[in-house]
Amino acid sequence: MPFGGHHQVCENAVLSVSPLLHLLPNSLYRRALVMGKERRERIEESPALRKTGLSLGKFERLLQRAGYSTIRRKLYLINPI
């Protein structure tokens, strides 16, 4: 997803709408967050957010292991966001 890791968390207007920013190498991603004047806490937590990388398949397996089941599943060719 082009806006995956940073779309919801960046407060800087330019960073929050910049596609694929979270795919930069860690040092460049961090530098972009610093230059965008993101809060220190946000910059420090960003590597953990990137590392999570939760795919749909992983999410569904976690649901299953936790004893949940899917009631309705709708997949999109293009993300509706």
Q: Kindly report, residue by residue over 31-70, the tens digit of the pLDDT.
A: 988 999 988 988 888 777 767 767 778 889 999 999 999 8
Q: Return the number of other C-beta atoms located less than 10 Å from residue 23's C-beta.
A: 13
Select from 6, 4, 1 the least CA-distant residue to 46.
6
The model's pTM is: 0.58
Which tokens is 27 given?
Answer: 């040092």
pLDDT of residue 37: 92
Determine the Cα–Cα distance for residues 11 and 25; give it in Å rounded to an integer: 20
12 has a pLDDT exceeding 80:
yes
Which amino acid does the sequence have at 54? Answer: L
